[in-house]
């Protein structure tokens, strides 16, 4: 059983999707063992408390430097014997020092179909505004492994939805979450915890075949 840490900064609806999946027995190879927030005010911490999951706060602002911030993260991960990290709306940047400690063991969820609408500065509503401004006809979400390149690591799972004529950035954000993110993330975490993901260069093979989300 792998111990999972979920890193959050905000509302934590993706964390909630993981909590609900665990309650349904859908995280068979893993256990939610820590929720680590970059902010003491994140509502995600309340979700963790309600689910009985240990929490930690590591705020770069309060710790003063990237080194102190990442030392605090390493300490929390060691204290909870963490094997797998899930970035679920975590807004602080992690250095290559930290990500290279966890090769193929950190997942991130991004609210677009990578490699479109991703990279530096592409987060939150900005992604959906850019999608609508460019006039693409489909969008979606991507779960990928985290490497030093922002949103550039090997892609694990993606799901697409159509853009509707009257979509706004807000309506699109909601539909991408409900129809893509909250389904993809628990599935990808389960696959990783069950050792069912094999990375070959930039490609991720799913052992046991195709996954329909």
d(CA 195, CA 169): 36
Number of chain residues interacting with ligand GRF (CB under 6 A): 14
- Angle between the 169-176 and 125-134 helix axes, to the nearest 10 degrees? 110
Cα→Cα distances 110→33, 71, 88, Å? 22, 26, 9
Among 10, 30, 153, 186, binds ligand GRF (CB under 6 A): 10
Answer yes or no: 110 catalytic.
Answer: yes
Instruction: Supply the DSSP string of 21-84, one letter for each residue.
Output: HHHTT--TTEEEEEEEESSTT-HHHHHHHHTT--EEE--HHHH-SHHHHHHHHHHHHHHTT--E
140 lines the binding site for ligand GRF (CB under 6 A): no
Sheet hosting strand 84-87, strand order edge to edge: 55-57, 30-37, 2-8, 84-87, 106-110, 138-145, 155-162, 203-206, 197-200
37 lines the binding site for ligand GRF (CB under 6 A): no
Stretch binding ligand GRF (CB under 6 A), from 67-75, 95-103, 109-117, 202-210:
109-117
Shorter beta-carbon distance to ligand GRF: residue 41 or 67: 41
131 lines the binding site for ligand GRF (CB under 6 A): no
89 lines the binding site for ligand GRF (CB under 6 A): yes
Among 30, 111, 140, 153, binds ligand GRF (CB under 6 A): 111
Catalytic residue (choose from 80, 83, 110, 128): 110
Among 2, 7, 14, 143, binds ligand GRF (CB under 6 A): 14
> Where in 168-207 is the site for ligand GRF (CB under 6 A)?
177, 181
Shorter beta-carbon distance to ligand GRF: residue 14 or 99: 14
Q: Return the active site residues.
A: 110
Residues that bind ligand GRF (CB under 6 A): 8, 10-14, 44, 88-89, 109-111, 177, 181
């Amino acid at each position: 059983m792998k111990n999972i840490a979920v890193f959050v900064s905000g509302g934590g609806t993706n964390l909630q999707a993981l909590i609900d999946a665990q309650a349904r027995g859908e995280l068979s190879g893993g256990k939610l063992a820590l929720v680590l927030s970059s902010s003491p005010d994140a509502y995600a911490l309340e979700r963790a408390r309600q689910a009985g999951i240990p929490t930690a706060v590591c705020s770069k602002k309060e710790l003063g430097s990237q080194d102190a911030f990442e030392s605090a993260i390493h300490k929390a991960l060691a204290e909870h014997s963490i094997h797998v990290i899930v970035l679920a709306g975590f807004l602080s940047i992690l250095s290559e020092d930290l990500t290279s400690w966890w090769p193929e063991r950190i997942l991130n969820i991004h609210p677009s179909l990578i490699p479109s609408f991703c990279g530096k500065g592409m987060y939150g509503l900005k992604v959906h505004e850019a999608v609508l401004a460019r006039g693409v006809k489909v969008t979606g979400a991507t779960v990928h492994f985290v490497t030093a390149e922002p949103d550039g690591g090997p892609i694990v799972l993606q799901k697409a939805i159509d853009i509707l004529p009257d979509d706004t950035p807000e309506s699109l954000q909601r539909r991408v979450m409900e129809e893509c993110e909250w389904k993809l993330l628990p599935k990808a975490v389960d696959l990783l915890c069950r050792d069912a993901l094999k990375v070959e260069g930039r490609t991720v093979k799913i052992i046991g075949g195709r996954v329909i989300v």
